[in-house]
Amino acid sequence: MAITGSGSLAISFFVFVISAAFLPKGAAETLTVEGQNLATDNVTVIEGEMATISCRVRNNDDSVIQLLNPNRQTIYFKDVRPLKDSRFQLVNFSDNELRVSLSNVSLSDEGRYVCQLYTDPPQEAYADITVLVPPGSPIIESREDVVSEGNETELTCTAIGGKPAAYIRWMKGEEELTGEATVEETYDRMFTVTSRVRFSVTKEDDGMPVDCIIDHPAVKDLLAQRHLEVLYKPEVKIVVTYPEGLTREGDNLDLTCIAEGKPRPHQINWLRVDEDVPPHAVVTGSDLYIENLNKSYNGTYRCVASNAVGEAYVDYILYVHDAPTTIPTPTTNPVNTQDSRAGEGAPQKIDHAVIGGVVAVVMFAILCALIVLGRYFARHKGTYFTHEAKGADDAADADTAIINAEGGHNNTDEKKEYYI
């Protein structure tokens, strides 16, 4: 009986399938060692996307290549697709490669695919397809919607239906938190992960974002966020509205109490520690006003603010100084008082310098005069003339000198002497 070409191909395919079915499993695995001619690669694909399986032959001697699914059903025999699943499409067929694509991959497609080379004995290589399933959007929940400062809060984040199991991280602002995770595997080989985190809150945490971040190979940038709402007692401060400088007797004092909290402070009170507030002090809301201060008002004044969380206070210590005793100098031009004072200060410095210079010059002149007089007296020591001696130098003798004296008189009562 004659056998046509197509009949011969069918018989060869039948014989090959039968021989592969009865091939011991251990023997098939031993054919995947290094050095054999058939090779393939494992494939990881996200659910719904496309996977490509490549069966490659090195130094092929025209042997038949075929691809089997995890149930060992033939997907492609050479370039023929016996399996009626249109998601499998031939990408390339040659003597050295059989490449097949699988579109719209589902979790049921996961498993070990077999590349077979029809030789004697047959060779096999295995391509494991791993299907990744991204989890659903995370759900973040809080044990309480509002928490008071100093108390502990608990947040829970759940990632449902992922494969493999997701890893959950927590971030509070820029701070990473450590959570406790539990993993539950469902009947369809999926995983649900729940993570809980506990921490104490402060008033600085009010409005702070807390992120539940999902780390999974099938998805990126998957997170859920919740903002903390923290109640805290008031923060109080006192602002001195008047005076700007020291408080002195006779001055007025105006203080303003500023309080902020959550919820908003519902009550603000002024009191004087250990004493009564001065009788004429005026309290208007958050303001305290005292006029005509004196030293009896010295003490500690306290502003107390309260809300549903608690109360807080801040103190202001009042010390009244003496009234100023300096009386300002009258001036005819009040507008230019500052300029006049500035003008008076500069000449005073110049007068001191001038006086010092004059004194120095006078002292130097006196010193010079004394030196000159000293030298003069030293040179003319013991030499002087009287009126009697006038003309003595021109007389021939003593008698003549006396006769030639001025006026020609020798009356001693009219004698005068001049000294230098």
Binning pLDDT at 50, 70 and 90, where does residue 266 land? very high
| Least reliable range by pLDDT among 20-29, 94-103, 254-263 | 20-29
| Higher pLDDT among residues 374 and 296, named by residue | 296
Q: What is the pLDDT of residue 122?
A: 87
- Virtual CA dihedral for 406, 411, 414, 416, nearest 10 degrees? 70
Q: Which of 395, 411, 413, 393 is nearest to 403 (CA)?
A: 395
Q: What is the pLDDT of residue 335?
A: 40
User: Is there a contact between 77 and 117 (Cβ–Cβ < 8 Å)?
Assistant: no
| Least reliable range by pLDDT among 6-10, 180-184, 299-303, 403-407 | 6-10
The total of other beta-carbon atoms located within 10 Å of residue 42's CB is 12
How many whole angstroms separate alpha carbon 162 and alpha carbon 158?
11
Q: What is the pLDDT of residue 358?
A: 85
| Higher pLDDT among residues 17 and 47, named by residue | 47
Specify the residue for token string 């998957």: 222
Q: What is the pLDDT of residue 188?
A: 86
How many whole angstroms separate alpha carbon 114 and alpha carbon 40?
9
User: Is there a contact between 114 and 74 (Cβ–Cβ < 8 Å)?
Assistant: no
Q: What is the pLDDT of residue 121?
A: 85
Buried b (16+ CB within 10 A) or exposed e, 96-124: eebbbebeebeeebbeebbbbbbbeebbb
How many whole angstroms separate alpha carbon 418 and alpha carbon 390?
12
Q: What share of the chain is helix, strand, coil (3-state, %, to 5)?
A: 20, 40, 40
What's the mean pLDDT in 71-77?
Answer: 95
Three-class DSSP category at 311: strand
Q: What is the pLDDT of residue 234?
A: 95
How many whole angstroms separate alpha carbon 56 and alpha carbon 419?
148
Task: Write out the two tokens for 98.
Answer: 């059989």
Binning pLDDT at 50, 70 and 90, where does residue 402 land? low
Radius of gyration of the chain (CA): 59
Q: Quick: pLDDT tens for 270-289.
A: 999 999 999 889 999 899 99
216 has pLDDT over 90: yes
How many whole angstroms separate alpha carbon 50 and alpha carbon 53?
10
Q: What percent of the chain has pLDDT over 70?
A: 75
What's the mean pLDDT in 298-312?
Answer: 96
Binning pLDDT at 50, 70 and 90, where does residue 340 land? very low
Q: What is the pLDDT of residue 49?
A: 97
How many whole angstroms separate alpha carbon 310 and alpha carbon 265?
9
Q: Please, how many CA atoms are within 13 Å of residue 386, restricted to the half-sphere of its CB?
A: 12
Q: What is the pLDDT of residue 208?
A: 96
How many whole angstroms separate alpha carbon 135 and alpha carbon 214?
9
Q: Are strands 147-148 and 230-242 parallel, antiparallel or unpaired?
A: parallel
What's the mean pLDDT in 239-256?
Answer: 93
Q: Quick: pLDDT tens for 137-194.
A: 999 999 999 999 999 999 999 999 999 999 999 999 999 999 999 999 988 889 999 9
Q: What is the pLDDT of residue 108?
A: 93
| Higher pLDDT among residues 11 and 92, named by residue | 92
Average pLDDT taken over every residue of the chain: 81
Binning pLDDT at 50, 70 and 90, where does residue 351 land? low
Q: What is the pLDDT of residue 202?
A: 95
201 has pLDDT over 90: yes
> From residue 320, how far is each of 207, 252, 283, 289, 300 by CA, in Å?
44, 11, 20, 15, 12
236 has pLDDT over 90: yes
User: Is there a contact between 68 and 53 (Cβ–Cβ < 8 Å)?
Assistant: no
| Higher pLDDT among residues 406 and 170, named by residue | 170
Which residues are bridge partners to 99 per DSSP?
Answer: 54, 92
| Residues whose CB is less than 8 angstroms from the CB of residue 14 and which lie 6 or more positions away in sequence, other chains included | none
| Least reliable range by pLDDT among 11-25, 237-251, 403-417 | 11-25
| Least reliable range by pLDDT among 26-40, 110-124, 170-184 | 26-40
Q: What is the pLDDT of residue 160?
A: 94
Q: What percent of the chain has pLDDT over 90?
A: 62
